[in-house]
Amino acid sequence: MEFTHPELGSEIRSISGYYIPREEHTLNYKDREVLYILGQACIDTSCCGSSAWSYVQVPGFLVKRNLREEFPAVSEVEAIADKADRAKVREVLAAMYPGSQVEMW
């Protein structure tokens, strides 16, 4: 599947708050690269209260970076389908970024 890389440091607003993708990294796992994004999210305009948290977003294995020259960058990724691999990647990232919510596609 195609993954459009977010503009790092740019606030994305929603009806109840916003999120900001901060950093993009890869993690070596079984001779492949796992693409992941670090960011922060905040609920600040909800009728039910407010909250903020850090997140790790995992689109999947990086298959091919930069499919086109234009902005924003688009890469090909493959979802991590195997349950054991998903659990291990989640465990590694949770240990690297304690307290962050790990979200896998």
**Domain residue ranges of the chain, discontinuous segments joined by +:** 2-104
Beta-carbon count within 10 A of 22 CB: 15
How far apart, in whole angstroms, are the C-alpha atoms of residue 73 and residue 61? 16
> Taking the model in full, what pTM does it have?
0.91
Per-chain mean pLDDT for the chain: 94
Residue 79 has pLDDT above 80, yes or no: yes
Mean predicted confidence (pLDDT) in 19-46: 95
Q: Binning pLDDT at 50, 70 and 90, where does residue 47 land?
A: confident
Q: What is the pLDDT of residue 81?
A: 97
Mean of pLDDT values over 49-70: 91
Q: How far apart are CA 52 and CA 42, in angstroms?
A: 4
Q: What pLDDT score was predicted for residue 46?
A: 75
